Amino acid sequence: KAGVTQTPRYLIKTRGQQVTLSCSPISGHRSVSWYQQTPGQGLQFLFEYFSETQRNKGNFPGRFSGRQFSNSRSEMNVSTLELGDSALYLCASSALGGLNQPQHFGDGTRLSIL
Amino acid sequence: ELKVEQNPLFLSMQEGKNYTIYCNYSTTSDRLYWYRQDPGKSLESLFVLLSNGAVKQEGRLMASLDTKARLSTLHITAAVHDLSATYFCAVDSGSRLTFGEGTQLTVNP
């Protein structure tokens, strides 16, 4: 069974640009969550989608947005990039989300802002 | 706001020794997970703890959960070099994980 797939693996952008990251969950999983990992702040929850609906959102500015498609694939968009957005962005999927099942993580997209 | 604290944050130990990593959290929850992360890699699920008193073991690692004390432990028995990694606990508050800071474990020969 294929795992969670994130693309691209690495991305370099400049301040002010926007970026879209993609996540394909494990087949059959309907919940997709996004996390930001930085050395200073650790792992922080961005948002969670289930059946194309955002169910939960972390404390990030509106520049961070996401969506989920009918096939459960998800995208995350960050607009007007700032230096502080440099991070590893991790996507995780679970079958039902929040119901006693671990989230399975992808390899992440490492975003660098110049 | 849920807070999750791990200690120690850095742990250097010799092969063959035992040690425990602690994970405290601030609000009631009965779902806690442990993950492992190798440098440059993603998070690997180790244990799922779903009730008070839950104990899970896999190889040299054993995890437990005390929901009344809001405490989980990850015990390492007879450490080996392959266990060197960063270990995270995460508390599940309804489709959302709040992670501890992580414990960077180095096992020396």
For B42-96, the pLDDT digits (tens) are: 999 999 998 888 899 999 999 999 999 999 999 999 999 999 999 999 998 877 8
B45–A106 CB contact, under 8 Å: no
CB contacts of B98 in chain A (<8 Å) are 45
pLDDT of residue A102: 81
Q: Which of A50, A103, A106 sits opposite B97 (nearest CB)?
A: A103
Percent of chain A with pLDDT over 70: 95
CB contacts of B33 in chain A (<8 Å) are 102-103
Report the half-sphere exposure of B16 (CA within 13 A, side-chain side). Answer: 1
pLDDT of residue A70: 95
Does the pLDDT at position A100 exceed 70?
Answer: no
For A53-63, the pLDDT digits (tens) are: 999 999 999 99
- In total, chain A counts a number of residues equal to 114
Banded pLDDT at A111 (limits 50, 70, 90) = very high
CB B77 within 8 A of CB B90: no
Strands (E), A10-101: 10-13, 19-24, 31-38, 42-50, 53-57, 64-68, 74-78, 87-94
Residue B87's DSSP bridge partners are: B36, B103
